[in-house]
Chain A
Amino acid sequence: MATNKAKKDNIYTTATGLVIEVKKVDPALIQKVMRASPMPKRPVYEAKTFGGRIETHPLDEESAAQTPGGQDQWDYYQSELTEAQMAQNDRVINALFLYGTDCVVPDDGWVARHEFLGMRVPQEPDMMRAHYLSCELAAEDLAGVTSAIMKMTGVGEEAIADAEAAFRGAIRDKSE
């Protein structure tokens, strides 16, 4: 069970006792990070009008089934989209931890462990912190820190709840 010991709005203490200072992140930066993540192009189908004009419309689940070859296109698009969204989530989380946290990263040999596991650990201190937090925090703490940053950033509660849910889902997906 996660322990959110938020004594102050800008201090978050994890279940393991790590004290993290959370800071506001420029929403424009988040937008830029999201836009920098390429999304797959949605497939389309062609519709011919009575006048002979060819129109293109975005494919959806139902029109995919109604279009020859559409189901394969749709399935491929869905898998590409899922991958892209996960990559985008990772980038956003990294941005939040990079610009929205400050903490003393423990020196308990985690760098060696990560390198042993094949992960590249950044040497730049802020990046190293972001890497540490994104990899070592428990799922509930990841969600808690993220929502704390978003609250400081001024993101609406509904959006935060959505992000938390998506975030927990993504964490679960990774663990499955």
Chain B
Amino acid sequence: MAHHFVAGEGSLWAQISGPNTIPVYLGCHEIGDIDIPKGDIELIYCPDPSGPSRFEVVGSITGAAGAITTSVTTDVTDALDSLEQVNCPFTLFVNMSKSGRKDLFTNFDRTFVLTAATITSEGLTGLTSRTPDDNARSEQTFDISGEALLRLFAQDIARQTITETAPINKVIFTNEQTCRTDDDPSSDFCQVGFASTDAGVGSPSAFAQVLITTNGSTWTAAAADPFAAAEDITGIVGFELDRDSTRVIVARGTTDGAAAAEIAYSDDSGTTWTLVTVGAVTGEFVSTQHGMTAVDRNNTWLVSNGGYIYYSADAGLTWTAQESGSITSAPWNAVEFSDDQIGWVVGNTNAIARTIDGGATWSSITGPSTQAANHAISLEVIDKNRAWIGYSSGTMYYTIDAGVTWTQRSFTGSGVGQVRDIAFLNETLGYMLSNNASPLGTVLWTIDGGYTWSTLTTPANSGLNALYICNQWNFYVAGETNSATGYIAKASVA
């Protein structure tokens, strides 16, 4: 039976200095009503043919969503209140908990997170009285506006049943959430998806396959396989070509000694594939599942095992080298862009590079000195100054100054195994995959931009490879073969 929360079960927290800083317990503060304007409907009228001076509604326009507003009230005390000290955007958390300590940040059954909160006005009341025995409380109120309100729960992760026997390297989805129209049914987040696999000894045909789903739960192999036998598929990206078609691009993850790197694309959900050679360096390939990324159809990058960075501005038809092994000749392991200008790449022996001009120029970055001998294997770019890197040493580092300084962020299990993937939905909500020495993969999540990482109960697995975040409630995980089949799991709110 559902638990009906009451106000007394809530506790208020704030990240005074924004995401990825310590959340502090505000205690005796009361949050007011939270108003979430989602955009009014403006009706469109035309003259009604049934008579003069009459109008009929012929359509509507949805207005822009407004800022989320609320207020926080607290007593005036003989000490400076934490909110009195706020000068910059901060994050506000309303943790709702059936039980447990109120001053334990991770102790919640659900939480409401107001991001980029700004104090827009302050008010003071009841400071003095003309009546000697007036014991009314002296209070201060902070009016707050924020950008978004996340409604978060710890998700349940459930493995999906698939017949593919090879490891699953990566899962992506290409559809948007849409409402029903006269022409199309509605669609939810993450219904149309693709997964890349290894060729693998256990694969039925020894050909690496692309798995396809149209409902987010049933996965079937594409009609055709993109590459030759025994060649793995590592990277996979997808985007809408136009209103009616989606392009999926996959990268070959195995060397073909006589050939250069190669991708294949399909515009018909894997019925046919077109091979495209990338660069001219024989033997190159995309060595990991994170080795290809697309911002949109006009901006796709892939990185090679030979230190090359390739770019396509035409949805994968042609590729040019933006970086040709001058920063490193070792494998790049991951490439990630936060937009079409800001991008990072990471690779073996702690090689890191960054661009702020869409890859026209790449600048080498010095990574954490303690990781010089380790491989940077996963990457998440928040913006031009902030990025996260996961290492083959099982550690995770972040920078907030474009790589000038690095800080390690510990988590349960850090320092063992590998950090296989890091992904953020926004600057607040993120997930990571930690494969320990067993190997056994664990999903961890953060709701405070990475300051605190909590473990999610993860179904039995033999190592996890990649994450795909659908929205604030759902994400997918791909992993190694476990119990004779590849591993795809979906996280959702119970």
Contact B25 A47 (CB under 8 A): yes
Is the C-beta of B107 less than 8 angstroms from some C-beta in chain A?
Answer: yes
Say whether, besides A62-B107, A66-B104, A66-B107, A50 and B99 are in contact (CB < 8 Å).
no
Contact B99 A51 (CB under 8 A): no
CA distance A63 to B25 in the complex (A): 16
Is the C-beta of A55 less than 8 angstroms from some C-beta in chain B?
Answer: yes
- On chain A, the number of residues with a Cβ less than 8 Å from chain B's Cβ atoms is 16
**A76 to B: closest C-beta gap in Å:** 18
Contact B101 A67 (CB under 8 A): yes
Q: Report chain A residues within 8 Å CB of B102.
A: 47, 55, 57
Contact A63 B27 (CB under 8 A): no
**B66-89 Cβ-contact flags toward A at 8 Å (1 or 0):** 000000000001011110000000
Is the C-beta of B26 less than 8 angstroms from some C-beta in chain A?
Answer: yes
Return the chain B residue nearest A59 by Cβ.
B101
Contact B101 A63 (CB under 8 A): yes
Return the chain B residue nearest A60 by Cβ.
B99
Return the chain B residue nearest A66 by Cβ.
B101
Is the C-beta of B100 less than 8 angstroms from some C-beta in chain A?
Answer: yes
Contact B81 A51 (CB under 8 A): yes
Is the C-beta of B206 less than 8 angstroms from some C-beta in chain A?
Answer: no
Is the C-beta of A52 less than 8 angstroms from some C-beta in chain B?
Answer: yes
Contact A50 B104 (CB under 8 A): no
CA distance A22 to B81 in the complex (A): 62
Q: Report chain B residues within 8 Å CB of A63.
A: 99-101
Contact A55 B107 (CB under 8 A): no
**B92-120 Cβ-contact flags toward A at 8 Å (1 or 0):** 00000001111110010000000000000
Contact A62 B26 (CB under 8 A): no
For B82, give its contact among A50, A55, A62, A67 (CB under 8 Å).
A50
Is the C-beta of A49 less than 8 angstroms from some C-beta in chain B?
Answer: yes
CA distance A25 to B348 in the complex (A): 83
Return the chain B residue nearest A53 by Cβ.
B27
Contact B27 A51 (CB under 8 A): yes
Contact A49 B28 (CB under 8 A): yes
Is the C-beta of B24 less than 8 angstroms from some C-beta in chain A?
Answer: yes
Q: Report chain A residues within 8 Å CB of B24.
A: 49-50
Q: Which of A51, A53, A57 has the most CB of B within 10 A?
A: A51
- On chain B, the number of residues with a Cβ less than 8 Å from chain A's Cβ atoms is 19
CA distance A125 to B82 in the complex (A): 68
Which residues of chain A from 18 to 52 have a CB within 8 Å of any chain B CB?
45, 47-52
Is the C-beta of A72 less than 8 angstroms from some C-beta in chain B?
Answer: no
For A53, give its contact among B16, B77, B104 (CB under 8 Å).
B77
Contact B103 A51 (CB under 8 A): no
Contact A51 B79 (CB under 8 A): yes
Q: Report chain B residues within 8 Å CB of A157.
A: none
Contact A55 B28 (CB under 8 A): yes
Say whether, besides A50-B82, A62-B107, A55 and B99 are in contact (CB < 8 Å).
no
Q: Report chain A residues within 8 Å CB of B14.
A: 50
Return the chain A residue nearest B8 by Cβ.
A57
Return the chain B residue nearest A55 by Cβ.
B27
Return the chain B residue nearest A65 by Cβ.
B100
Q: Report chain B residues within 8 Å CB of A66.
A: 100-101, 104, 107
Q: Report chain B residues within 8 Å CB of A83.
A: none
Return the chain A residue nearest B81 by Cβ.
A51
Q: Report chain A residues within 8 Å CB of B25.
A: 47-50
**B5 to A: closest C-beta gap in Å:** 15
Contact B27 A47 (CB under 8 A): yes
CA distance A9 to B28 in the complex (A): 54
CA distance A133 to B27 in the complex (A): 52
Is the C-beta of A136 less than 8 angstroms from some C-beta in chain B?
Answer: no
Return the chain B residue nearest A46 by Cβ.
B103
Is the C-beta of A61 less than 8 angstroms from some C-beta in chain B?
Answer: yes
CA distance A45 to B16 in the complex (A): 25
Contact A50 B28 (CB under 8 A): no
Say whether, besides A62-B107, A66-B107, A51 and B101 are in contact (CB < 8 Å).
no
**A151 to B: closest C-beta gap in Å:** 28
Q: Report chain A residues within 8 Å CB of B101.
A: 45, 47, 57, 62-63, 66-67
Given A48-B103, A50-B16, A55-B28, 19 further pairs, Cβ under 8 A: A45-B101, A47-B101, A47-B102, A48-B25, A49-B24, A49-B28, A49-B103, A50-B82, A51-B77, A53-B27, A53-B77, A57-B101, A57-B102, A60-B99, A60-B100, A63-B99, A66-B100, A66-B104, A66-B107
Provide 29 A-B residue pairs closer than 8 Å at the C-beta atoms, listed in order of the A residue.
A47-B25, A47-B27, A47-B103, A48-B103, A49-B26, A49-B82, A50-B14, A50-B25, A50-B26, A50-B27, A51-B26, A51-B27, A51-B77, A51-B79, A51-B80, A51-B81, A52-B79, A53-B27, A53-B77, A55-B27, A57-B101, A57-B102, A60-B100, A62-B99, A63-B99, A66-B100, A66-B101, A66-B104, A66-B107
